[in-house]
Protein backbone atom coordinates (compact mmCIF):
# COMPACT_ATOMS: atom_id res chain seq x y z
CA UNK A 1 0.00 0.00 0.00
CA UNK A 2 1.32 3.47 -0.90
CA UNK A 3 0.70 6.60 1.19
CA UNK A 4 0.56 9.99 -0.54
CA UNK A 5 1.32 13.62 0.31
CA UNK A 6 -0.61 15.73 2.79
CA UNK A 7 -3.42 18.13 1.98
CA UNK A 8 -5.47 20.60 4.03
CA UNK A 9 -8.69 18.91 3.02
CA UNK A 10 -9.79 15.62 1.49
CA UNK A 11 -13.16 15.87 -0.25
CA UNK A 12 -14.88 12.57 -0.98
CA UNK A 13 -17.45 13.03 -3.77
CA UNK A 14 -17.46 15.52 -6.65
CA UNK A 15 -21.20 16.14 -6.98
CA UNK A 16 -22.48 19.70 -6.42
CA UNK A 17 -21.44 19.67 -2.73
CA UNK A 18 -17.89 18.36 -3.28
CA UNK A 19 -17.11 20.43 -6.37
CA UNK A 20 -18.46 23.64 -4.80
CA UNK A 21 -16.49 22.94 -1.60
CA UNK A 22 -13.32 22.54 -3.68
CA UNK A 23 -14.01 25.88 -5.38
CA UNK A 24 -14.70 27.70 -2.09
CA UNK A 25 -11.59 26.15 -0.49
CA UNK A 26 -9.30 27.03 -3.39
CA UNK A 27 -10.51 30.65 -3.24
CA UNK A 28 -8.93 30.94 0.22
CA UNK A 29 -5.79 29.03 -0.72
CA UNK A 30 -6.50 25.60 0.81
CA UNK A 31 -4.85 22.53 -0.71
CA UNK A 32 -7.66 20.14 -1.64
CA UNK A 33 -7.62 16.51 -2.71
CA UNK A 34 -10.89 15.79 -4.56
CA UNK A 35 -11.91 12.15 -5.10
CA UNK A 36 -14.88 10.58 -6.90
CA UNK A 37 -15.64 6.98 -7.69
CA UNK A 38 -17.30 7.89 -11.01
CA UNK A 39 -15.76 8.97 -14.32
CA UNK A 40 -17.22 12.24 -15.55
CA UNK A 41 -19.54 12.89 -17.24
CA UNK A 42 -21.70 10.68 -15.06
CA UNK A 43 -25.47 10.57 -14.69
CA UNK A 44 -27.18 11.34 -11.38
CA UNK A 45 -30.87 10.55 -10.97
CA UNK A 46 -32.44 13.96 -10.31
CA UNK A 47 -35.16 16.37 -11.47
CA UNK A 48 -32.28 18.53 -12.77
CA UNK A 49 -33.90 21.77 -11.53
CA UNK A 50 -31.68 24.57 -10.21
CA UNK A 51 -33.65 27.17 -8.29
CA UNK A 52 -32.86 30.49 -6.62
CA UNK A 53 -30.66 29.08 -3.90
CA UNK A 54 -28.35 27.31 -6.36
CA UNK A 55 -28.24 30.46 -8.50
CA UNK A 56 -27.20 32.42 -5.40
CA UNK A 57 -24.11 30.23 -4.87
CA UNK A 58 -23.27 30.03 -8.58
CA UNK A 59 -23.23 33.83 -8.62
CA UNK A 60 -20.97 33.90 -5.55
CA UNK A 61 -18.56 31.48 -7.29
CA UNK A 62 -18.62 33.58 -10.51
CA UNK A 63 -20.10 30.67 -12.47
CA UNK A 64 -23.56 31.96 -13.30
CA UNK A 65 -22.71 33.48 -16.70
CA UNK A 66 -21.17 30.19 -17.84
CA UNK A 67 -24.07 28.11 -16.45
CA UNK A 68 -26.51 30.22 -18.50
CA UNK A 69 -24.81 28.92 -21.67
CA UNK A 70 -25.14 25.20 -20.80
CA UNK A 71 -27.75 23.15 -22.70
CA UNK A 72 -31.01 23.05 -20.76
CA UNK A 73 -34.08 25.21 -20.22
CA UNK A 74 -34.49 28.60 -18.54
CA UNK A 75 -37.54 28.67 -16.25
CA UNK A 76 -40.03 31.55 -16.27
CA UNK A 77 -43.15 29.88 -14.87
CA UNK A 78 -44.23 27.38 -12.23
CA UNK A 79 -47.44 25.37 -12.55
CA UNK A 80 -49.01 23.73 -9.51
CA UNK A 81 -51.68 21.16 -10.33
CA UNK A 82 -54.15 20.27 -7.58
CA UNK A 83 -55.72 16.84 -6.99
CA UNK A 84 -59.08 17.98 -8.47
CA UNK A 85 -57.48 19.04 -11.77
CA UNK A 86 -57.27 22.81 -11.34
CA UNK A 87 -53.89 24.44 -11.88
CA UNK A 88 -52.13 27.55 -10.70
CA UNK A 89 -49.85 29.09 -13.32
CA UNK A 90 -47.32 31.49 -11.82
CA UNK A 91 -45.35 33.71 -14.16
CA UNK A 92 -42.13 34.50 -12.31
CA UNK A 93 -41.14 37.31 -14.64
CA UNK A 94 -44.49 39.09 -14.15
CA UNK A 95 -44.56 38.53 -10.42
CA UNK A 96 -44.83 41.72 -8.40
CA UNK A 97 -41.99 40.34 -6.27
CA UNK A 98 -39.48 41.56 -8.84
CA UNK A 99 -36.47 40.18 -7.00
CA UNK A 100 -37.37 36.55 -7.88
CA UNK A 101 -34.18 35.01 -9.30
CA UNK A 102 -33.91 32.95 -12.46
CA UNK A 103 -34.04 29.14 -12.49
CA UNK A 104 -32.79 26.44 -14.87
CA UNK A 105 -33.27 22.79 -15.70
CA UNK A 106 -29.93 21.30 -16.77
CA UNK A 107 -29.17 17.58 -16.98
CA UNK A 108 -26.95 16.55 -14.09
CA UNK A 109 -24.62 14.81 -16.53
CA UNK A 110 -23.96 18.30 -17.95
CA UNK A 111 -24.15 20.44 -14.79
CA UNK A 112 -22.00 18.14 -12.63
CA UNK A 113 -19.38 17.79 -15.36
CA UNK A 114 -19.25 21.60 -15.60
CA UNK A 115 -18.77 21.94 -11.82
CA UNK A 116 -16.26 19.07 -11.72
CA UNK A 117 -14.15 20.61 -14.51
CA UNK A 118 -13.99 23.93 -12.62
CA UNK A 119 -13.09 22.14 -9.37
CA UNK A 120 -10.41 20.00 -11.04
CA UNK A 121 -8.70 23.17 -12.33
CA UNK A 122 -8.20 24.50 -8.80
CA UNK A 123 -7.79 21.33 -6.71
CA UNK A 124 -4.23 20.52 -5.61
CA UNK A 125 -4.95 16.97 -6.77
CA UNK A 126 -8.05 15.32 -8.18
CA UNK A 127 -8.88 11.71 -9.03
CA UNK A 128 -12.05 10.46 -10.68
CA UNK A 129 -12.66 6.73 -10.89
CA UNK A 130 -11.29 6.47 -7.33
CA UNK A 131 -13.53 4.64 -4.84
CA UNK A 132 -13.01 5.48 -1.18
CA UNK A 133 -13.41 2.31 0.84
CA UNK A 134 -12.14 3.22 4.29
CA UNK A 135 -11.43 6.04 6.71
CA UNK A 136 -8.21 6.33 8.72
CA UNK A 137 -8.76 7.06 12.40
CA UNK A 138 -5.91 7.72 14.85
CA UNK A 139 -6.47 8.70 18.49
CA UNK A 140 -10.21 9.02 17.83
CA UNK A 141 -9.52 11.56 15.07
CA UNK A 142 -10.22 11.11 11.34
CA UNK A 143 -6.94 11.81 9.53
CA UNK A 144 -7.38 10.42 6.02
CA UNK A 145 -8.99 7.97 3.62
CA UNK A 146 -8.07 4.80 1.75
CA UNK A 147 -9.42 3.75 -1.61
CA UNK A 148 -8.96 2.01 -4.91
CA UNK A 149 -8.07 3.71 -8.19
CA UNK A 150 -10.18 2.19 -10.99
CA UNK A 151 -10.13 -1.59 -11.10
CA UNK A 152 -6.47 -1.74 -10.12
CA UNK A 153 -7.12 -3.55 -6.87
CA UNK A 154 -4.32 -1.35 -5.50
CA UNK A 155 -5.00 0.38 -2.15
CA UNK A 156 -3.93 4.01 -1.84
CA UNK A 157 -4.14 6.14 1.32
CA UNK A 158 -4.16 9.91 1.67
CA UNK A 159 -3.85 12.05 4.79
CA UNK A 160 -5.30 15.44 5.74
CA UNK A 161 -6.41 17.05 9.00
CA UNK A 162 -10.01 17.38 7.74
CA UNK A 163 -12.13 15.13 5.51
CA UNK A 164 -15.44 16.15 3.90
CA UNK A 165 -17.98 13.43 3.18
CA UNK A 166 -19.71 14.90 0.10
CA UNK A 167 -20.48 11.44 -1.22
CA UNK A 168 -24.25 11.56 -1.37
CA UNK A 169 -26.94 9.18 -0.12
CA UNK A 170 -25.37 6.08 1.54
CA UNK A 171 -22.15 8.07 2.04
CA UNK A 172 -19.19 5.80 2.76
CA UNK A 173 -17.83 8.47 5.13
CA UNK A 174 -21.10 8.53 7.12
CA UNK A 175 -21.31 4.72 7.14
CA UNK A 176 -17.75 4.18 8.33
CA UNK A 177 -18.18 6.78 11.06
CA UNK A 178 -21.52 5.46 12.33
CA UNK A 179 -23.65 8.41 11.17
CA UNK A 180 -25.57 6.75 8.32
CA UNK A 181 -29.32 6.28 8.88
CA UNK A 182 -32.16 5.20 6.61
CA UNK A 183 -35.40 6.13 8.36
CA UNK A 184 -38.40 5.76 5.99
CA UNK A 185 -39.97 8.82 7.67
CA UNK A 186 -37.08 10.96 6.42
CA UNK A 187 -36.36 9.50 2.99
CA UNK A 188 -38.31 10.14 -0.24
CA UNK A 189 -38.03 7.57 -3.01
CA UNK A 190 -38.33 8.96 -6.53
CA UNK A 191 -38.26 7.85 -10.16
CA UNK A 192 -36.98 9.86 -13.09
CA UNK A 193 -37.56 9.27 -16.79
CA UNK A 194 -36.22 11.35 -19.70
CA UNK A 195 -38.76 11.90 -22.48
CA UNK A 196 -38.96 13.48 -25.91
CA UNK A 197 -42.02 15.24 -27.34
CA UNK A 198 -44.33 15.99 -24.39
CA UNK A 199 -46.81 18.66 -25.47
CA UNK A 200 -47.02 22.11 -23.89
CA UNK A 201 -43.74 22.03 -22.01
CA UNK A 202 -41.62 25.09 -22.72
CA UNK A 203 -40.35 27.41 -20.00
CA UNK A 204 -42.25 26.11 -16.95
CA UNK A 205 -41.67 23.54 -14.26
CA UNK A 206 -44.85 21.65 -13.34
CA UNK A 207 -45.59 20.02 -9.99
CA UNK A 208 -48.86 18.07 -9.93
CA UNK A 209 -50.33 16.82 -6.68
CA UNK A 210 -52.45 14.00 -8.07
CA UNK A 211 -54.25 10.95 -6.68
CA UNK A 212 -51.82 8.54 -8.39
CA UNK A 213 -49.00 9.86 -6.15
CA UNK A 214 -50.42 10.82 -2.79
CA UNK A 215 -48.69 12.07 -0.71
CA UNK A 216 -46.09 13.21 -3.22
CA UNK A 217 -46.08 14.74 -6.68
CA UNK A 218 -45.65 14.13 -10.39
CA UNK A 219 -43.18 16.54 -12.01
CA UNK A 220 -42.71 17.62 -15.62
CA UNK A 221 -39.60 19.73 -16.27
CA UNK A 222 -38.50 20.93 -19.73
CA UNK A 223 -34.97 20.42 -21.09
CA UNK A 224 -33.33 21.41 -24.37
CA UNK A 225 -34.56 20.40 -27.87
CA UNK A 226 -38.01 19.11 -26.87
CA UNK A 227 -36.68 16.73 -24.25
CA UNK A 228 -37.96 16.65 -20.68
CA UNK A 229 -37.31 15.24 -17.24
CA UNK A 230 -40.42 13.76 -15.62
CA UNK A 231 -40.88 11.73 -12.48
CA UNK A 232 -42.66 11.03 -9.23
CA UNK A 233 -41.57 10.99 -5.62
CA UNK A 234 -43.18 9.75 -2.39
CA UNK A 235 -42.11 9.43 1.22
CA UNK A 236 -40.66 5.94 1.76
CA UNK A 237 -42.90 5.41 4.77
CA UNK A 238 -46.03 6.08 2.65
CA UNK A 239 -44.78 3.75 -0.12
CA UNK A 240 -44.36 0.95 2.40
CA UNK A 241 -47.64 1.67 4.14
CA UNK A 242 -49.69 1.84 0.92
CA UNK A 243 -47.60 -0.89 -0.80
CA UNK A 244 -47.12 1.39 -3.82
CA UNK A 245 -45.27 0.18 -6.93
CA UNK A 246 -43.67 3.46 -8.09
CA UNK A 247 -43.17 2.30 -11.70
CA UNK A 248 -46.87 1.50 -11.97
CA UNK A 249 -47.78 4.79 -10.28
CA UNK A 250 -45.66 6.68 -12.86
CA UNK A 251 -47.28 4.77 -15.73
CA UNK A 252 -50.76 5.51 -14.29
CA UNK A 253 -49.91 9.23 -13.93
CA UNK A 254 -48.84 9.43 -17.60
CA UNK A 255 -51.95 7.55 -18.76
CA UNK A 256 -54.38 9.52 -16.56
CA UNK A 257 -57.05 11.61 -18.35
CA UNK A 258 -55.28 14.81 -17.32
CA UNK A 259 -51.96 13.93 -19.03
CA UNK A 260 -52.50 11.27 -21.70
CA UNK A 261 -53.14 13.81 -24.49
CA UNK A 262 -49.86 15.56 -23.73
CA UNK A 263 -48.02 12.23 -23.94
CA UNK A 264 -49.78 11.00 -27.09
CA UNK A 265 -46.72 11.62 -29.33
CA UNK A 266 -44.11 11.43 -26.58
CA UNK A 267 -41.32 8.85 -26.56
CA UNK A 268 -39.47 7.68 -23.44
CA UNK A 269 -35.69 7.96 -23.80
CA UNK A 270 -34.97 5.49 -20.97
CA UNK A 271 -36.66 3.17 -18.49
CA UNK A 272 -37.60 4.89 -15.23
CA UNK A 273 -34.63 5.06 -12.85
CA UNK A 274 -34.94 5.46 -9.09
CA UNK A 275 -32.91 6.87 -6.23
CA UNK A 276 -33.42 8.06 -2.67
CA UNK A 277 -33.71 11.60 -1.32
CA UNK A 278 -32.56 11.93 2.31
CA UNK A 279 -34.72 14.87 3.39
CA UNK A 280 -33.96 17.36 6.13
CA UNK A 281 -37.10 16.74 8.20
CA UNK A 282 -34.70 15.60 10.91
CA UNK A 283 -31.47 17.29 11.95
CA UNK A 284 -28.93 14.43 12.04
CA UNK A 285 -25.38 14.81 13.40
CA UNK A 286 -23.01 15.73 10.57
CA UNK A 287 -19.72 16.50 12.32
CA UNK A 288 -17.09 14.57 14.26
CA UNK A 289 -13.38 14.74 15.07
CA UNK A 290 -11.71 15.60 11.77
CA UNK A 291 -14.71 15.32 9.45
CA UNK A 292 -17.92 16.94 8.22
CA UNK A 293 -20.78 15.61 6.06
CA UNK A 294 -22.15 17.80 3.25
CA UNK A 295 -25.20 17.75 0.96
CA UNK A 296 -27.08 14.45 0.72
CA UNK A 297 -24.55 12.75 3.00
CA UNK A 298 -25.90 15.06 5.72
CA UNK A 299 -29.58 14.66 4.63
CA UNK A 300 -30.31 18.27 3.65
CA UNK A 301 -32.95 17.93 0.90
CA UNK A 302 -36.05 20.11 1.21
CA UNK A 303 -38.88 17.73 2.27
CA UNK A 304 -41.56 19.75 0.44
CA UNK A 305 -39.94 20.58 -2.91
CA UNK A 306 -37.32 17.79 -3.16
CA UNK A 307 -34.69 20.42 -3.91
CA UNK A 308 -31.26 19.31 -2.67
CA UNK A 309 -28.70 20.99 -4.92
CA UNK A 310 -29.16 24.43 -3.34
CA UNK A 311 -28.63 23.13 0.20
CA UNK A 312 -25.70 20.97 -0.94
CA UNK A 313 -24.07 24.14 -2.31
CA UNK A 314 -24.83 26.05 0.90
CA UNK A 315 -23.31 23.23 2.95
CA UNK A 316 -20.12 23.58 0.88
CA UNK A 317 -19.93 27.29 1.71
CA UNK A 318 -20.30 26.79 5.49
CA UNK A 319 -18.14 23.65 5.69
CA UNK A 320 -15.21 25.50 4.08
CA UNK A 321 -15.66 28.47 6.43
CA UNK A 322 -15.51 26.14 9.45
CA UNK A 323 -12.56 24.19 8.00
CA UNK A 324 -10.64 27.38 7.39
CA UNK A 325 -11.14 28.53 11.00
CA UNK A 326 -10.16 25.07 12.30
CA UNK A 327 -6.99 25.01 10.17
CA UNK A 328 -6.00 28.47 11.40
CA UNK A 329 -6.57 27.43 15.01
CA UNK A 330 -5.00 23.98 14.51
CA UNK A 331 -8.07 22.48 16.20
CA UNK A 332 -9.86 19.77 14.18
CA UNK A 333 -11.97 18.42 17.00
CA UNK A 334 -15.73 17.89 16.77
CA UNK A 335 -16.23 20.91 19.06
CA UNK A 336 -14.32 23.14 16.65
CA UNK A 337 -15.99 21.79 13.47
CA UNK A 338 -19.47 22.05 15.01
CA UNK A 339 -19.41 25.69 13.90
CA UNK A 340 -20.26 24.30 10.43
CA UNK A 341 -23.45 22.69 11.69
CA UNK A 342 -24.43 25.83 13.63
CA UNK A 343 -23.92 28.17 10.66
CA UNK A 344 -25.60 25.87 8.16
CA UNK A 345 -28.66 25.15 10.26
CA UNK A 346 -29.07 28.79 11.25
CA UNK A 347 -29.28 29.48 7.48
CA UNK A 348 -31.51 26.59 6.35
CA UNK A 349 -32.95 25.05 9.55
CA UNK A 350 -36.03 27.23 9.81
CA UNK A 351 -36.95 26.70 6.18
CA UNK A 352 -36.47 22.93 6.51
CA UNK A 353 -38.77 22.86 9.55
CA UNK A 354 -41.43 24.81 7.64
CA UNK A 355 -41.09 22.53 4.61
CA UNK A 356 -41.54 19.53 6.90
CA UNK A 357 -44.90 21.00 7.94
CA UNK A 358 -45.79 21.78 4.31
CA UNK A 359 -44.94 18.19 3.35
CA UNK A 360 -47.64 17.11 5.79
CA UNK A 361 -50.18 19.43 4.14
CA UNK A 362 -49.53 17.45 0.95
CA UNK A 363 -51.31 14.53 2.70
CA UNK A 364 -54.55 16.53 2.56
CA UNK A 365 -55.80 16.82 -1.03
CA UNK A 366 -58.70 19.03 0.02
CA UNK A 367 -56.38 21.70 1.42
CA UNK A 368 -54.32 21.62 -1.77
CA UNK A 369 -57.46 21.92 -3.94
CA UNK A 370 -58.60 24.82 -1.81
CA UNK A 371 -55.31 26.77 -1.86
CA UNK A 372 -54.68 26.26 -5.57
CA UNK A 373 -58.26 27.29 -6.47
CA UNK A 374 -58.01 30.41 -4.31
CA UNK A 375 -54.60 31.32 -5.75
CA UNK A 376 -55.88 30.92 -9.33
CA UNK A 377 -58.20 33.85 -8.64
CA UNK A 378 -56.09 35.82 -6.22
CA UNK A 379 -53.02 37.53 -7.65
CA UNK A 380 -51.69 38.49 -4.23
CA UNK A 381 -51.72 34.85 -3.09
CA UNK A 382 -50.20 33.63 -6.37
CA UNK A 383 -47.35 36.14 -5.91
CA UNK A 384 -46.87 35.02 -2.35
CA UNK A 385 -46.55 31.36 -3.36
CA UNK A 386 -44.11 32.29 -6.16
CA UNK A 387 -42.00 34.16 -3.63
CA UNK A 388 -42.02 31.24 -1.22
CA UNK A 389 -40.91 28.80 -3.87
CA UNK A 390 -38.14 31.18 -4.91
CA UNK A 391 -37.11 31.60 -1.26
CA UNK A 392 -37.77 35.33 -1.35
CA UNK A 393 -40.69 35.21 1.09
CA UNK A 394 -40.55 33.16 4.31
CA UNK A 395 -42.40 29.89 3.73
CA UNK A 396 -43.79 29.76 7.25
CA UNK A 397 -46.79 31.79 6.12
CA UNK A 398 -47.95 28.79 4.08
CA UNK A 399 -47.36 26.37 6.97
CA UNK A 400 -49.33 28.47 9.45
CA UNK A 401 -52.91 27.22 10.04
CA UNK A 402 -54.07 30.84 10.41
CA UNK A 403 -53.04 31.43 6.80
CA UNK A 404 -55.74 28.99 5.64
CA UNK A 405 -58.28 30.42 8.03
CA UNK A 406 -57.68 33.91 6.65
CA UNK A 407 -57.98 32.57 3.11
CA UNK A 408 -61.45 31.28 3.90
CA UNK A 409 -62.63 34.81 4.46
CA UNK A 410 -60.86 36.47 1.54
Ligand X SMILES: Cc1cc2nc3c(=O)[nH]c(=O)nc-3n(C[C@H](O)[C@H](O)[C@H](O)COP(=O)(O)OP(=O)(O)OC[C@H]3O[C@@H](n4cnc5c(N)ncnc54)[C@H](O)[C@@H]3O)c2cc1C
Cβ closest to ligand X, residue 38 vs residue 122: 38
- Pairwise CA distance, residues 208 & 216, whole Å: 9
CB of 86 to ligand X, least distance (A): 24
Nearest to 363 by CA among 257, 251, 249, 238: 238
- The residues binding ligand X (CB under 6 A) are 12-18, 35-38, 44-49, 131-132, 166-168, 172, 190, 192, 231, 275, 277, 295-296, 301, 306-310, 312
By beta-carbon proximity to ligand X, the closer residue of 43 and 94 is 43
- By beta-carbon proximity to ligand X, the closer residue of 205 and 337 is 205
Nearer to ligand X, 189 or 372 (CB): 189
Cα separation of 387 and 94, whole Å? 12
CB of 112 to ligand X, least distance (A): 7
Q: Which residue in the shown chain puts its C-beta closest to ligand X? A: 308
Q: How far is the CB of 374 from ligand X (least distance, A)?
A: 26
Q: Write down the least CB distance from residue 171 to ligand X, Å.
A: 7
Smallest gap, in angstroms, from Cβ of residue 55 to ligand X?
11
Q: What are phi and psi of 190, to 5 degrees?
A: -140, 155
Identify the helix (H) or strand (E) that includes residue 169. none
Q: In angstroms, give the least distance from the CB of 91 to ligand X.
A: 20
Cα(16)–Cα(116) distance, rounded to whole angstroms? 8
Among candidate residues 306, 234, 223, the one with its CA nearest the CA of residue 266: 223
* Cα 75–chain centre separation: 17
Nearer to ligand X by C-beta: 286 or 381?
Answer: 286
User: Helix 108-122 and helix 16-27: axis angle, to 10°?
Assistant: 30
Residue 249 exposed, middle or buried by CB count within 10 Å (0-12, 13-18, 19+)? buried
Name which of 176 and 353 has its Cβ closer to ligand X. 176
Three-state secondary structure readout of 101-162: CCEEECCHHHHHHHHHHHHHHHCCEEECCEEEEEEEEECCEEEEEEEEECCCCCCEEEECCE
Q: Say whether the peptide bond before residue 41 is cis (omega within 30 degrees of 0).
A: yes
Which residue number, 312 or 337, has a Cβ lying nearer to ligand X?
Answer: 312
Distance separating alpha carbons of residues 190 and 200, to the nearest angstrom: 23
| Min dist. Cβ of residue 190 to ligand X (A) | 3
Amino acid sequence: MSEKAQFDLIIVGAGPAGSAATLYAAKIGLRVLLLDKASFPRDKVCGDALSGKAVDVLKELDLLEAVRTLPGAAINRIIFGSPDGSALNINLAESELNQIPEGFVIRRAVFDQFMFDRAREVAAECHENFTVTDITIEDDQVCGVTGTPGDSGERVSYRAPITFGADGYRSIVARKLGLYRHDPKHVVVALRQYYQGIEGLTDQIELHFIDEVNPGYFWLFPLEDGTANIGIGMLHKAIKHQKVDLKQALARSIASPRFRERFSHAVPLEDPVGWNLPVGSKHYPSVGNGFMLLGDAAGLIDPFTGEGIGNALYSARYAVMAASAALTAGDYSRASLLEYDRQLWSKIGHELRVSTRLQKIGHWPRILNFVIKKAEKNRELANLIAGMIANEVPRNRLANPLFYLRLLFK
